[in-house]
């Protein structure tokens, strides 16, 4: 295990002093083990909105983004819709493979990047899927009026998404990027989250618990971050917005021993210069230490321009 001081010293020595640079996959592997990479790995992402054009176009955009912006980790967006049940949405049944088009895209991504880079499959948690099948208002109403009906629906969705997670890993994904947006004040209380969402979020993660790079994406400004710091062994990493939540990476590192993805503020990313991003990286290294992947706290704006997206690599790769 590399301590923070040793990590900073080794990074400062420069990649040239250590010989040939690592591949992106090797770089991430070192971070997962708490070792010292040749430099801090990084990535960023946004929604392409190309699902209506089919899995091939979706995969092409994902691969091109990785290559154009030299990212170390490929986060595969997943915006294909969950199949709507024949009857009322809350009578959902388990689906053996709910996102077949996404699986095709993953196969294409694997063929293009897996030798040198990890890729992870984005999965929105069952509560979010329920909201998309109906609406946030309807899901909350069902929770209050027919709680068992909601639990039944969420379990069916979770089992379906667990099936998809397994199929994604079979196609080469190194894990899932599980987006959780309802574990926050203003949507659910802590107890409501524990009863109505956590069991199903765990069901998805546990389906691929042996995967090396499962990531919890805790979305929102009032998330119950500390709830996820311990007791989630299937997840190797956490991604959240430090700036939006006001919960610093330094504080997160004190409570959480896994890999942290963060350091850049997605809300102002488009206006950050290379020098400012480099300062953000330096600050993140100083408080997080070796288990860091430099990323925004969420997707950067979808209308970010190529020159803006390229700044991340320029800031990291000296």
Whole-number pLDDT of residue 51 = 87
Q: For the chain, which ranges sit under pLDDT 50?
A: 1, 12-19
Whole-number pLDDT of residue 225 = 98
Whole-number pLDDT of residue 7 = 55
Whole-number pLDDT of residue 268 = 97
The architecture (CATH level 2) of 4-316 comes to Alpha-Beta Barrel (3.20)
Whole-number pLDDT of residue 100 = 98
Cβ(114)–Cβ(172) below 8 Å: yes
Whole-number pLDDT of residue 19 = 47
Tens digits of residue pLDDT in 232-271: 999 999 999 999 999 999 999 999 999 999 999 999 999 9
Antiparallel, parallel or unpaired: β 73-76 and 292-296? unpaired
Instruction: Return left, alpha or beta for 258; rule: phi > 0 is left, psi -120 to 50 is alpha, else beta.
Output: beta
How many residues in total does the chain contain? 318
Distance, CA of 2 to CA of 275 (rounded, Å): 27
Distance, CA of 165 to CA of 63 (rounded, Å): 20
Domain extent listing, the chain: 4-316
Whole-number pLDDT of residue 317 = 95
Distance, CA of 173 to CA of 175 (rounded, Å): 5
Distance, CA of 249 to CA of 228 (rounded, Å): 14
Q: What is each CA distance from 220 to 32, 64, 209, 225, 228, in whole angstroms? A: 25, 29, 25, 10, 14
Tens digits of residue pLDDT in 159-209: 999 999 999 999 999 999 999 999 999 999 999 999 999 999 999 999 999
Whole-number pLDDT of residue 17 = 41
Distance, CA of 28 to CA of 42 (rounded, Å): 9
Distance, CA of 250 to CA of 295 (rounded, Å): 15
Whole-number pLDDT of residue 18 = 46
H or E segment and range at residue 274: helix 274-288
Beta-carbon count within 10 A of 223 CB: 23
């Amino acid at each position: 295990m590399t301590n923070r001081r040793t990590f900073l010293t080794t990074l400062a020595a420069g990649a040239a002093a250590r010989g040939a640079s690592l591949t992106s996959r090797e770089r991430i592997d070192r971070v997962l083990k708490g070792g010292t990479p040749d430099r801090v790995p990084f990535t960023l992402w946004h929604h392409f909105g190309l699902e209506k054009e089919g899995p091939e176009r979706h995969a092409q955009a994902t691969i091109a983004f990785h290559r154009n912006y030299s990212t170390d980790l490929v986060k595969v967006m997943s915006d294909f819709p969950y199949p709507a049940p024949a009857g009322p949405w809350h009578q959902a049944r388990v689906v053996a493979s709910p996102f077949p088009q996404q699986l095709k895209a993953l196969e294409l991504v694997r063929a293009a990047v897996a030798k040198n880079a990890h890729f992870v499959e984005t999965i929105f948690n069952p509560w979010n899927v329920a909201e998309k099948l109906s609406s946030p208002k309807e899901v909350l109403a069902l929770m209050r009026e027919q709680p068992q009906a909601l639990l039944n629906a969420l379990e069916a969705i979770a089992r379906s998404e667990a099936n998809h997670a397994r199929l994604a890993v079979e196609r080469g994904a190194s894990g899932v990027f599980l987006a959780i947006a309802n574990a926050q004040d203003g949507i659910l209380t802590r107890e409501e989250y524990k009863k109505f969402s956590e069991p199903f979020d765990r069901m998805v993660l546990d389906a691929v618990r042996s995967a090396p790079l499962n990531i919890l994406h805790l979305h929102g400004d009032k998330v119950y971050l500390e709830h996820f710091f311990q007791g989630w062994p299937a997840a190797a990493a956490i991604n959240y917005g430090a700036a939006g939540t006001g919960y610093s990476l330094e504080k997160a590192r004190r409570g959480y021993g896994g890999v942290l993805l963060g350091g850049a503020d997605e809300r102002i990313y488009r206006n950050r210069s290379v020098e400012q991003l480099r300062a953000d990286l330096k600050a993140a290294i100083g408080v997080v230490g070796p288990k860091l992947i430099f990323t925004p706290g969420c997707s950067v704006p979808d209308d970010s321009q190529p020159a803006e997206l390229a700044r991340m690599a320029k800031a990291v790769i000296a």
